[in-house]
Amino acid sequence: MGKDVIIACDFSSAEDTFNFLDKFTDEKPFVKIGMELFYAEGPSIVREIKKRGHKIFLDLKLHDIPNTVKKSMAVLSRLDVDMTNLHAAGTVDMMKAALEGLTREDGTRPLLIAVTQLTSTSEERMKNELLINASINDTIVKYASNAKLAGLDGVVCSPLEAGMVKDNCGKGFMTVTPGVRFADGDIGDQVRVTTPAKAKEIGSDYIVVGRPITAAEDPVAAYRRCVEEFVG
């Protein structure tokens, strides 16, 4: 499993996205397409970015009944993305159905990872609104174990949780981690952040980096700095 930096392309139009990607003339970064861009531009944006030679993490976080998720994953698989995701809260049956839907006739499929608890969900909200009395760390480990049981490849989590997930699910279970900032950079609205170098040390397999690259004066230089710190 190769370590890589994934750029979160959180743009609202194809035009802004291509203006950004056009800056990269020497390399083809792995990119993340989220709900905003996908809902704005539809599946064609995925095909166009793929045609330009980028690997794609399609971050749509599916969560529905198993049959609906299975059929939707089959559609996403035909878009030839490299990685996609769902909410582990959909339970093991839903995750197994997703894997079935994602697997192409020739046996290949994109990587499938699960969101455990969103970083915006606090222990207090889990307790008061969702009536979940376990600690947030226990639910993260349990949801990650469920994802592993269902046959998924890994989870999205904070880099600070990656070690805990690896300890419980094994080294080969992937951790894809947002919340990355340069030591001398702006934190913005992220709370629990680490640097690319620290994420590497903790054991993240992929870091997802948005604004430290997309809002940088020189995005290509910022991307290269990330790769140098994280991949080496």
Q: How far is the CB of 83 from ligand C5P (least distance, A)?
A: 13
Q: How far is the CB of 28 from ligand C5P (least distance, A)?
A: 19
The residues binding ligand C5P (CB under 6 A) are: 8, 10, 34, 118-119, 156, 178-179, 188, 190, 208-212
Q: Looking at beta carbons only, is 66 or 119 nearer to ligand C5P?
A: 119
Q: Residues 3, 61, 127, 142: which is the catalytic one?
A: 61
Q: What distance in Å separates the CA atoms of residue 205 and residue 185, rounded to the nearest whole number?
A: 22
**What count of residues does the chain have?**
232
Q: What distance in Å separates the CA atoms of residue 170 and residue 163, rounded to the nearest whole number?
A: 10
Q: What distance in Å separates the CA atoms of residue 150 and residue 153, rounded to the nearest whole number?
A: 9
154: part of which helix (H) or strand (E)? strand 154-156
Q: How far is the CB of 60 from ligand C5P (least distance, A)?
A: 12
By DSSP bridging, strand 83-87 and strand 56-62 are: parallel
Q: Looking at beta carbons only, is 185 or 203 nearer to ligand C5P?
A: 185
Closest residue to ligand C5P using C-beta atoms: 210
Q: Looking at beta carbons only, is 106 or 217 nearer to ligand C5P?
A: 217
Q: How far is the CB of 181 from ligand C5P (least distance, A)?
A: 7
70: annotated active-site residue:
no
Q: Looking at beta carbons only, is 70 or 140 nearer to ligand C5P?
A: 140
Write the DSSP assignment of 48-96 as a string of letters: HHHHTT--EEEEEEE-S-HHHHHHHHHHHHHTT-SEEEEEGGGHHHHHH
Q: What's the CA angle centered on 166, arms 108 and 214, to 5 degrees?
A: 70
Active-site annotation, residues: 61
